[in-house]
Amino acid sequence: MREFSRTDRVAEQLQQELAVLIQREVKDPRLGMVTVSSASVSRDLAYADIYVTLLGENDPQRVRENLGILKRASGFLRSQIARRMKLRHVPELRFHFDESVERGQRLSSLIEDAVASDRRRSDDDGEGQP
């Protein structure tokens, strides 16, 4: 079994800390229900890409607004992370909207529609048979 690399461990802890900090410490009323879905850290720990989802939000304007709020709060978040994690250098935080959840829901819906359509078609074909 492969051990987690240091960057993996830092990314995982960063994800957990940011989830709590964004929920409890960022006091902007325009910020929606943000979930930190994943984080990845560069090898030199200079940058952290933080992927977030917004509960019930898929309006591009709201997504941009929320990412802007998080970007403006990144200095504050970094200072809080520096207190909580024992790192010599806290990575620069770069926030991104995680489209994978929305894409998964869309694919799931398409699959359900296709299955229902097939079921209707087979029911229609079966009615004419004695």
pLDDT tens, position by position, 50-74: 999 988 767 889 999 999 999 999 9
Same domain, 76 and 24: yes
Structural domain harbouring 125? 99-130
Total domains, the chain:
2
Per-residue model confidence (pLDDT) at position 73: 95
Query: How many other C-beta atoms lie within 10 A of the C-beta of residue 42?
Result: 14
Q: Judge if 88 and 127 occupy the same domain.
A: no
Is 1 within a domain?
no
Cβ atoms of residues 98 and 51 within 8 Å: yes
Strands in 2-117 per DSSP E:
34-41, 47-54, 92-97
pTM score, whole prediction: 0.77
